[in-house]
Each structure stands twice: as C-alpha cells, then as structure tokens.
Amino acid sequence: MAEEEWEPKILAFCCNWCSYAGADAAGMERRQVPPTIRVIRVMCSGRIDPAFVLMGLLEGADAVLVTGCHIGDCHYVNANNKTRNRYEFLKEFVDELGLEPDRLWLRWISASEGALFADMVREVTEKIKKIGPSPLRRDWKK
Amino acid sequence: MKVISSICPGCSIGCGLYLAESKDGEANKMRVLHRKNAAVNEGKLCKFGTQLHTYYEREALNDTVDGSEVEQKEAIKEAKGRLKGMKPDELAFVALPGTVTNEEIVSLVALASEFGCENISFGLERFFRGIPEEARYIIEKGLPFSEVEKASRIILLFVDPFVHYPLLARRVLKAKKKGAKVVEVSFAKNERGIADETVLVEPVGLERIKEKKDLFEDSLIIGELTPYTDLQFFELMLWLNASTSSRLFLLKPFLNSTGAFLPGGNSKRRKDLFEIIDGIERGEIKALYLLETDLAGAMLGDERVTKTVSKLDLLIEQNAFRTPLSSTADITISSEPFFMKRGTIVNIEGRVLEVGGQSEKGLQITESMGKGRTYEEVHEEVKRKLGLAEISEFELAVKRKERSFEMAEPKVEIEERKGGEGYFLWYKTNPFFWNNGIQSKNFVEISPAAMRKLGLFRGDEVVIVQGERKGRMGFKISELPDYLILSESKMSIKPFEGLIAKVEMRRRDCETTQEKINC
Amino acid sequence: MSRCYLAWAKDERIREKGADGGFVTATLVSALETGFIDIALVVAKKSVYEGIPVLTSNPEVVKECAGSLHGAPINLTKYVVEYAAEKRIGLPTKPCDARGIIEQAKRRQVNLDNIFMIGLNCGGTLHPLRMREMAADFYGLDPDSVVKEEIKEGKIFLVSKEAGGKEKETAIKIDELEQKGYGRRDACKSCVTKIPTSSDLACGNWGVPKGEEKKTFVEVLTAKGEAILKNAIDSGYVCIEEAPGEGIEMRRKIEAGMQKLAESWKERIDEVNALSRSGRFDFYVDALKNCIHCGACKEVCPVCACEKEAKCLDMNDERDSYAISMYNVLRIFHLMDSCIHCGQCEDVCPVDIPLTLIQRRFSERMQRHLGYTPGMSVDEKPPLYETELRWNAESMMK
C-alpha cells in the first residue's frame, strides 16, 4: 500500500454509561470523527481485561483506546479505579515491548462530552499517522 | 511423594525427566518434573514430554486368550503353544522400538530364532536394501548433539526442528549463535525463520535438489527417517552425502531405533514392516507377534492394517496399554509401562541410557517363551554387543565413524504425486504423531491464498478430502506455497510415501440447523 | 523482632555432615521428632549434580539430606503447593523458595501458618551440567569424581575423590569462572535477595567469626521462627549463643557486597539495555517466536497459581499468527508485578528463550514504578489485583 493511502486502525473500548454515549453524542452533534476508529462497547471500563487490549494490539490495531467514566462517577462504585490501575501496567508493558507509548490511551469521557470524544479520536489519529503502522501488524502477501 | 528418574519415549532423542506421584495419590496419575542433570536435554522437555503423564494414563491391557481374561502364565503358555504350531515362515514379529529396551530386543530376536523365524521388523529395515554396505552406519547410528552445535553449516532437509524434534532446535540455535549458517530445503519456509537461506522444493520437483548439490558441501545434513520416508528420497539423501563432503544425521521417531539395530544383531535378512504387511495380505504370514507396538496407530489412517490383520490366524499382542488392535487380538499379554522397566536404550546420540525402573515383566514374557534367561544374562549380552563395561549417560558409548561410499545418482520422480488439481497435504511428524495416546493440535496450516480462495474466516473449519476419506480441521494461516497444507496431527488421510498426500480442500459448511443459525 | 544468634547442632554427626554446624538439619529433625511439624521437605542428594525433593516425616531421611547442594537449582514452592498445602510442614528455603511460597500464600494456595521456612542465605546456585563442564574444563577433574562442593569466601570449592581414596580440594574464584561464562546461573548472578528475609529464620555462615566454623549464624525473623528455634533448643538438639556485634556487621557487609555485585551483573547480562526502542521490539519478537508452547515455564513458575484454568492458556489459540503469542504476552504481563526472578522458567525452556532477562526487564521496571517487591510480605497483595493504585492516588490526580 502506498504511504498516503494508509489509514490507521484504532480500537476503542467504550463504557456503556459514559464514553459510548459520548461517542453517540459526538454523532448527534454532527462532529467530524475520523473513520479510523472501531468501537467495542463494554458495560464498564473495569470489564476491560488487559488481555483484551493486548490482543487488540497483537491483532494489528495501530492504537488502542481505553475510555471510561471520570474517577468517582463509575456506575459500579469504583471499577474504573481498577481500569486506571491496569492502565499503569499496560503503559509500562507497551513501552518495554518497544511499541510507541502513543499506541495506548486512557481517557475519561462522560456521556455529555461528545466534543471531547471527537477531539480525542482526531488527536490519536494524527499521532498514529505520524508514527506509522504498528510493527505487530502482519500483512499477508497476496 | 515418590520421584523416579525416567526417559521420555517420545522420539529417538530420549530426554531425561522425573515422574512423580501426583498429589491425589491415585494410582495411574503422575506428574512430570524436570531433571536438570539429564545429559541429553538438561531437563528441558517438549510438549510431549511435559504431557507425558497423559501418555501413561491410558487404559492398561489385560491378559486374555480368545477374548476371555486369564492369568498371565496361562496367556504366555497359550501363546508359546500356538506359535509352536506355526511354520517358521508363517510367523512374524514386529516391534516399533518406541518403548522397547535393548534387553527386550535381544530377547525378542532370540525368541524368533528359537522358532527359526527371520521375519522380525523394527520398522526401518527396507532402507537397508540396495544401499552400499559402507552406508549402513547412517541408518544405524546418529551423531551427538555436540556435533550439531559445533557445525559451521547445517542443512535442514525437510526437517523443522521445532516441530519434528523440538529438543534438536536449541542445538541448531546454539550452532547459529556460534556463527553457523543454516540452510533449509523444504516444501515451506520455516515460520520461525531458523534458516538463513531457504530452498523451496515442490512435492513433484524433488529432482531439483540435485541441482543444488553445492549447497550441501561441508555441511551437516539433518534429515529424518521414518517408516514412511520415501525410498527414492532416502537414496537422494545418501547420494547427496556420498557426493559431497558432508555428514548425514538422520533422526528417527522411535526412542530405541539405534538400539534396535545394534544389539539386535544383523538386520540384513530381516523383513520390513511393509513387507510383513504385504505378506499377511498375500496369506504367506499367518501369525503376528506385536511387541509394544500400536500398529494401527503408527500406520496413519491406513485402514489396510486393520483389514489385513483380520486375515491372520493368530495375532498376539504384548503391550502395557490397549491399542485399537487389542480387541481383535487372539492373545494379549500385559507388560509394564515403559517407565517401570529395568533395562537400557540407546538414544540417537549414541548414549546408552538406563530406563530407570525395576520391573522385568516384559522381558520375562519373551524369555519365558524362549531361552528363559535372567535379566542379568540378557543385560550382559547387550553390554557385550555394545562393547560396554559400564553404563553412564555422560558417555557417548556408541560412536560412529564417517565412511565414504559410492552411490549412483538416483532418479527422484514420484509418479503418484503428479497430475490432478488440488492441494498437497504434508504431515509434519512429531512425537505426538507416532504415540497414539495423545493428540496435539486440531488445525492445519494453509496459505493466505487458500484462505481467500475458500472464503474462510477466523474460527471456520476446513474439510480435507481424499476420495472416501475426510478430515475436519481448524486452520491457521502461514506463509506457505498456495498448494500446500501442513498438518501436525494425524487425520484419516492416507499419505503416500514421504508423508505427502494429494487432497482436496473446502470450507466446512454448517451441517446442523443450530450451526446454520450461528453462521 | 529480629535477633541474631550463633547456633549449632548438638549431635556431632549432624554437625559434621551438615553445612556450618548442621543447625538447619538439627532444627528440622527436632521439629519432626517432637511433632512440631508433620512433615519436612528436603532435597536428597543423589550426587553433587543432582538433588531430588523428598517429602518425609522420617527424621533419619532428613539427616541423610544434610549438607549444601548448589548444583541442584530446584525451587521448592510448587512441591509445597502440590503435596503439602494442608500439612504442617518445615523446609529449608533459599530466598527464592521463600518468596515463591509467600506469593502462593497471597494467592491462597497455601496457609502460611502451617509452613515453617528455615531460610538459607544464598549466594546462588549452579546449573548441574555447567558445573560438570566447569569441573572438567577449569578444575581439571573427572566430573564424576567430585563428591563435595562448597561456595565460600567468593570461591567455588570442589572436593574430588582421587585414585587412592584420598580427597582433594580445589578452589577457584567465582569471578574468574563467571568472566568466562561458567559459575552461577544468570538468575542467581543478578539476584539481590541474598538473605531470605521473608522466611521465618535466616541461616548461613556469613557473620560467623573466624575460628568459630561449624556454627551457623541464625537470624530470627518471625514469631514462627522463634517457636521452631525454641522447640529445637528445648528438645536438646541445638545450642545457641548470642551473635557477636562484629559478626552482625560482617554479615551485613557480605550481603551488601554481593548485592553490589549482583547489580553489576544485571547490567552486564542485559543485552537489551543498549538497544533502541525498535531494537528492543525486534529482540523480544525474535526471542519469543521460538516458543513451542510446551507450557513448562508456567508449570514450574513459583508465582503462578492458575494451574490448568489459566488466562494465558485459555486465551492462547495456536491458530493465531501473532508476532508474539497470547501465552507469552499474558505470562509476561501477569508477572510484571510478581516475578521473583528465580530463573526456573529459563532452566526448563526447551528452546532456550532468555526468559530470565525478559521477565526481569518487564517486571523490574514495573516493580520499581510500584515501589513493590514481591515475595516479601504476605500482607502486600499483588498490585495488579488491587482496586486502588498502590502509589499515592492524589499525586496522580494532579
């Protein structure tokens, strides 16, 4: 594929109660969101096993976004604290493995923050376009 | 917690390990532990080795005569009587030496000669036919792994060490670290990229290897010899060895393959496994004695074996575990599982290893029918034949001397591979393959092109068809030639020589309603 | 709580056979004979190169197993879990055994109240086959003639039986051997836990004053340790005296010296350190692609408590063509907070993946980040399972 044609593939895990609705809101407000993102809805960011994120990276996602409710706003008391804890592990892992730190993101986005969601996707897409495709991605020759 | 030291019967490498009682204290349940002092493998084990307990947890064989359970003595007496009633030429003995000790081999050979019978097979006899006398050592003896590590140039001839003989892989890697160049000649590129250079060959184009003869100069050629190795290809290996300054190291699937040829005596007059099966088919051989051999299991989806065996007047099976043929056997005699045996084996490196057990049951079965010697007597004979005073795993007791020999350039044109559409299925053998107890994988490897052509998605299954035979498998994509399918598991697909088969492949469609809904 | 003593076995035979006064053997024997413990886990010496763990309630067997065995790098953790999780058990523990057992206790696989860990100061172990090569190449001995080995004063002593039945002692500096790639295992070279502070007692010859050989320096670390020591003294198996001040100081100095050496080994062994980010990535992919998924590293891992129902096994599908398999990724990830760097995984890896180095690189930076050292205290839960961040949450929010 030629360089300019390349579009990143970004995997986003969105919490049902906040960031998924936030993504919805971005759409309702007719905000421009780059088509690079693939959303997986989860009931809570605390449900996101680090293994999911790692599998996403191994499958060839150029970046993985973990999004959830702001700390203190979790629908299930404090599960997003776990998310934050796990993110620290993932961050260290991704860095040590030799992937760029920008391939992993954690953002708190509430249901009303459609603008924030759209901005985030734009920001991630731009950054990933700069650093290029993930080295974990395998392209099979035709 | 009882811990015993043992040897893995998975392949001819003979890795050392410990077997310990599992925590439940249940009989027949055990745990595999690593024996770091093992000279062969430093305690490292492949998947087969780490799962060895499942191999030993199979259903045990009973002593039976014509289907009804009897005392062992009775079964042995009956077996001896019935064998005596046969003419020497109508008898045959088969022992694929996976779990057979040197002592048992010597005993079996003696037993056969008591009956005046020459029809004994240890699985690889046909390769001795028509080759120069000086080349026999290549079949009989392997090389120490330290030679692999020291080699400056290694040719992997249709051997993927990670799959075929996993404990060989680290030796090749070590050689590579020391600067050795690794060249592979194969149908497909090694997915782990162990080779610096790859020569891809098509199943119909084995002739092409001859043009690449120069590659083999000054190298250590690592190949494999199984009952299924193609004869023409075997001759090609010998020719490559004979016409270049190289050494040929052939690994074998059965633990005591080396021992079977050495203390077992002259193997020249012996019958080959396939010759015996043909003999049974023609009605020339009427009685078969199977020593620790799962014939149906080793014969790869070849239902001919079961059909052929039913033609026998007498089938005697001596084994620790039940095999698919046990129910049809006239007499079954139970021996002890391998780890309990007292005895020795010779691994592919030439180390004489003690199995580690204390039981002489298996040996005494053949001895009580034959000469009636004690273990010590047979063991002394083994030591004498191997030229050994003492047994140490750190000693390379059986050494081989490289000899040069002349070979005519062989023709490698395998007619049955030619023509027709479809795919080639290549069985990549491994310890799971020959030891019927456990299976390792439930998928085949296919090329990305085949995946696209068949419209396969993740989780789909393929059906591999060969006439009436069908095999259903998951799939994995690898960088393969488009026409190639690799399988590490046995299927009901029958290979022709060289472990290659011509097959069709299609996507497995949903068969039941529920599956259709899920689709 | 910690108090230091010099101790030795009263029984002259045990004192002679055991290392440094036979204190450990005598303590286990007394605990078995008085019924203080049900069972002892010791390593039976088959040769200087081979030891087999033995679970026994027979004091005579324990006496047989006296003496050091550096050529058998076994971790006893999984044996405790598998065979003696329900029993009151006593065992000698190297630092990595003790840390493994503590980690298993955190994961509720064993009840620490029933386990009496008699810690052994540990300078490191040797791989038996490397030791054989070493005996032949450097000591000029027939490996099979070696009957005893010892590590002291920075040297490895090999005692061999000569032709006339005479014993000969040869010593070579560890440093000299290790410069040439022999000596201790990589994991041991770079291990900084030299005194098993997480066991109940810590025993060894460091801090035993000159001229007082055949005595063991014992530090009492827990109430359990005090109890088993008291039991040994009361039943008349062990004598103790207060450790002299200069002994305590000496021991501290030896430990600090070895830790410093270990830190420098870490640097020397770490070939990844010099690599760039993408070089690091290639290194990991290249090393881990050789994996044949035998599962041995997980099986022997003293920290892993998942047995058959493990995420790394469940989520690993061999049909995937990932650059690194889920099995390896998840094992590394799950050990980031908990790896105790014992090196058992590398010992059993059939394709020689440098797992000690890989696990160390991933886990050490995480453990430093968390300010957490696994295997030290059963009260510190593995941070990955915690809800709250281990470090100060407030400072993170800013």
CATH code (residue B513): 2.40.40.20
Which residues lie across from B290 on neighbouring strands? B94, B317
ipTM score of the complex?
A: 0.93
Query: Residue A136, class by beta-carbon neighbours within 10 Å (0-12 exposed, 13-18 middle, 19+ buried)?
Result: buried
More confident residue, C368 or B420: C368
Which subunits have 3 or more CB–CB pairs within 8 Å of chain C?
Answer: A, B
Angle at B203 between CA B202 and CA B209, to 5 degrees: 60
Domains in chain B, number = 4
**Residue keyed to tokens 């001859």:** B210
Q: Indicate if the pLDDT at residue B50 is higher than 50.
A: yes
The domain boundary, picked from C166, C183, C200, lies at C183
Nearest C-alpha of chain A: how many angstroms from B510?
26
Q: Residue window 141-160, chain C: list those with CB within 8 Å of chain B.
A: 143-144
Q: What is the pLDDT of residues B274-311, one digit of tens each?
A: 889 889 999 999 999 999 998 887 776 667 777 888 88
Tell whether the torsion through CA atoms of A99, A102, A106 and A112 is positive or negative.
Answer: negative
Distance CA C289, CA B164 (A): 17
Report if residue B396 sits inside a domain: no
Report if residue A1 sits inside a domain: no
Same domain, B181 and B324: no
Which residues lie across from C168 on neighbouring strands? C160
Report if residue A65 sits inside a domain: yes
More confident residue, A54 or B29: A54
Q: How many interface pairs between A and B have CB atoms less than 8 angstroms apart?
A: 7
Rounded percentage of chain B residues whose pLDDT exceeds 90? 57
Residue C126 DSSP code = B
* Contact residues, chain C, for A50 at CB < 8 Å: 333
Strand, helix or coil for residue C115: strand
Which residues lie across from A11 on neighbouring strands? A38, A64
CB B13 within 8 A of CB B347: yes
Could you say which of B36, B169, B394 has the minimum Cβ distance to residue C127? B36
Report if residue B406 sits inside a domain: no
Q: Give the pairing of strands B314-319 and B331-334.
A: parallel
Distance CA B347, CA B328 (A): 33
Could you say which of C47, C49, C321 has the minimum Cβ distance to residue B477? C321
Same domain, B165 and B212: yes
Residue in A with minimal Cα distance to B482: A142
Report if residue B401 sits inside a domain: no
List the CATH number of the domain containing A121. Answer: 3.40.50
Same domain, B420 and B469: yes
* pLDDT score, position B216: 93
Same domain, B105 and B24: no
Q: How far is CA B282 from the centre of its chain?
A: 26
Q: Residue window 296-355, chain C: list those with CB within 8 Å of chain A.
A: 311, 315, 320-324, 326, 329-330, 332-333, 336-337
C28: left (phi over 0), alpha (psi -120 to 50) or beta: alpha
Which structure tokens are listed for C199?
A: 């066991």
Which structure tokens are listed for C349?
A: 């890896």
* pLDDT score, position B310: 87
Q: What is the pLDDT of residues A83-132, one digit of tens each?
A: 999 999 999 999 999 999 999 999 999 999 999 999 999 999 999 999 99
Report the pLDDT averaged over residues B58-87.
Answer: 93
Report if residue A116 sits inside a domain: yes
Nearest C-alpha of chain B: how many angstroms from C128?
6
Angle at B41 between CA C125 and CA B381, to 5 degrees: 120
CB B149 within 8 A of CB B175: yes
Same domain, C254 and C337: no
Report if residue B428 sits inside a domain: yes
Could you say which of C277, C279, C389 has the minimum Cβ distance to residue A85? C389
Residue in B with minimal Cα distance to A140: B448
Same domain, C251 and C198: yes
* pLDDT score, position B374: 94
List the CATH number of the domain containing B169. Answer: 3.40.228.10
Same domain, C250 and C366: no
How far CA B216 is from CA of B150, B181, B184, C113, C307, in Å, comes to 16, 12, 11, 64, 47
* pLDDT score, position B298: 78
Neighbours of B410 (CB within 10 A): 19
Same domain, C232 and C86: yes
* pLDDT score, position B5: 93
Strand, helix or coil for residue C42: strand
Distance CA B369, CA B123 (A): 23
Domains in chain C, number = 3
Distance separating the N- and C-terminal Cα atoms of chain A = 12
Contact C292 B45 (CB under 8 A): no
* pLDDT score, position C42: 94
List the CATH number of the domain containing C137. Answer: 3.10.450
When scoring C327, C351, C352 by the number of chain B Cβ atoms within 10 A, the one with the most, hence best to mutate, is C351
Contact A142 B479 (CB under 8 A): no
Nearest C-alpha of chain A: how many angstroms from B449?
7
The domain boundary, picked from C245, C265, C285, lies at C265
Same domain, C167 and C199: no
Report if residue B371 sits inside a domain: yes
Q: Indicate if the pLDDT at residue B9 is higher than 90.
A: yes
* pLDDT score, position B265: 63
B42: confidence class by pLDDT, cuts 50, 70, 90: very high
List the CATH number of the domain containing B302. Answer: 3.40.50.740
How far CA A120 is from CA of A31, A66, A82, A127, A129, in Å, comes to 12, 11, 22, 11, 14
Which subunits have 3 or more CB–CB pairs within 8 Å of chain A?
Answer: B, C
Q: Give the pairing of strands C167-173 and B352-354.
A: unpaired
Residue in B with minimal Cα distance to C56: B1
**Interchain CB contact of B195 with C (< 8 Å):** no
Same domain, C246 and C363: no
Same domain, B140 and B105: no
* Contact residues, chain A, for C388 at CB < 8 Å: 81, 85
Report if residue A126 sits inside a domain: yes
Torsion of CA C98, C103, C108, C113, to 10 degrees: 30
* pLDDT score, position C394: 47
The domain boundary, picked from B251, B282, B313, lies at B251
- Dihedral pair phi/psi, residue A73, rounded to 5°: -105, 10
Full 3-state SS string of A69-114? CCCCCCCCCCHHHHHHHHHHHHHHHHHHHCCCHHHEEEEECCCCCH
Instruction: Give the domain range for residue A62.
Output: 11-131
Query: Residue C365, class by beta-carbon neighbours within 10 Å (0-12 exposed, 13-18 middle, 19+ buried)?
Result: middle
Tell whether the torsion through CA atoms of B385, B389, B391 and B397 is positive or negative.
Answer: negative
Which residues lie across from B181 on neighbouring strands? B153
* pLDDT score, position B27: 59
How far CA B34 is from CA of B357, C100, C301, in Å, comes to 17, 18, 12
Report if residue B296 sits inside a domain: yes
Same domain, B355 and B269: yes
CB B386 within 8 A of CB B395: no
Q: What is the CA radius of gyration of chain A?
A: 15
Mean pLDDT of chain B: 89
Instruction: Give the domain range for residue C391.
Output: 271-397
Could you say which of C277, C384, C387 has the minimum Cβ distance to residue A81? C387
Report if residue B431 sits inside a domain: yes
Report the pLDDT averaged over residues B342-357.
Answer: 94
Contact A71 C397 (CB under 8 A): yes
Give the neighbor-by-neighbor strand order of the sheet with A63-68.
A37-42, A10-15, A63-68, A104-108
Report if residue A3 sits inside a domain: no
Report if residue A16 sits inside a domain: yes
CB C240 within 8 A of CB C233: yes
CB C296 within 8 A of CB B45: yes
List the CATH number of the domain containing B33. Answer: 2.20.25.90
**Sheet strands (E) in B331-477:** 331-334, 344-346, 352-354, 423-427, 443-446, 461-466, 469-477
Q: Give the pairing of strands B181-186 and B153-157.
A: parallel
Same domain, C21 and C111: yes
A37: confidence class by pLDDT, cuts 50, 70, 90: very high
Same domain, B295 and B234: no
- Dihedral pair phi/psi, residue B267, rounded to 5°: -105, 5
The domain boundary, picked from C158, C183, C208, lies at C183
Which structure tokens are listed for A99?
A: 């992937």
* Contact residues, chain C, for B36 at CB < 8 Å: 50, 72-73, 127-129, 347
Distance CA B361, CA B355 (A): 14
Same domain, B235 and B165: yes
Neighbours of B413 (CB within 10 A): 12
Return all residues near C219 (Cβ < 8 A) that are at least 6 apart. Answer: C2, C3, C4, C5, C195, C201, C202, C203
**Interchain CB contact of B50 with C (< 8 Å):** yes
Buried b (16+ CB within 10 A) or exposed e, B2-14: ebbbbbbbbbbbb
Same domain, C292 and C340: yes
Q: What is the pLDDT of residues B244-264, one digit of tens each?
A: 999 999 999 999 999 988 876
Report if residue B420 sits inside a domain: yes
Q: Indicate if the pLDDT at residue A48 is higher than 70.
A: yes
When scoring C78, C80, C87, C129 by the number of chain B Cβ atoms within 10 A, the one with the most, hence best to mutate, is C129
Which structure tokens are listed for B388?
A: 């050994």
Could you say which of C55, C127, C295 has the minimum Cβ distance to residue B50? C295
Same domain, C26 and C113: yes
Of C101, C108, C338, which Cα lies nearest the Cα of C199? C101
Q: Indicate if the pLDDT at residue B510 is higher than 90.
A: no
**Interchain CB contact of C318 with B (< 8 Å):** yes
Contact A92 C369 (CB under 8 A): yes
When scoring B13, B15, B50 by the number of chain C Cβ atoms within 10 A, the one with the most, hence best to mutate, is B50
Q: Indicate if the pLDDT at residue B512 is higher than 70.
A: no
Same domain, C90 and C224: yes
Distance separating the N- and C-terminal Cα atoms of chain B = 50
Residue in A with minimal Cα distance to B447: A140
Which structure tokens are listed for C101?
A: 């057992």
The residue ranges of chain C whose pLDDT is under 70 are 1-2, 390-398
Which residues lie across from B473 on neighbouring strands? B462
Could you say which of B45, B169, B478 has the minimum Cβ distance to residue C296? B45
Report if residue A79 sits inside a domain: yes
Q: Indicate if the pLDDT at residue B217 is higher than 80.
A: yes
DSSP B244-313: TT-EEEEE-SSTTHHHHHTTT---SSPPPHHHHHHHHHTTS--EEEEES--HHHHT-S-HHHHHHHTT-S
When scoring A71, A92, A102, A138 by the number of chain C Cβ atoms within 10 A, the one with the most, hence best to mutate, is A92
Neighbours of B178 (CB within 10 A): 11
Distance CA B489, CA C174 (A): 48
Instruction: Give the domain range for residue B446.
Output: 415-518
Distance CA C98, CA B404 (A): 58
Residue B74 DSSP code = H
Report if residue A141 sits inside a domain: no
Contact B479 A140 (CB under 8 A): yes
Distance separating the N- and C-terminal Cα atoms of chain C = 39
* Contact residues, chain A, for C283 at CB < 8 Å: 98
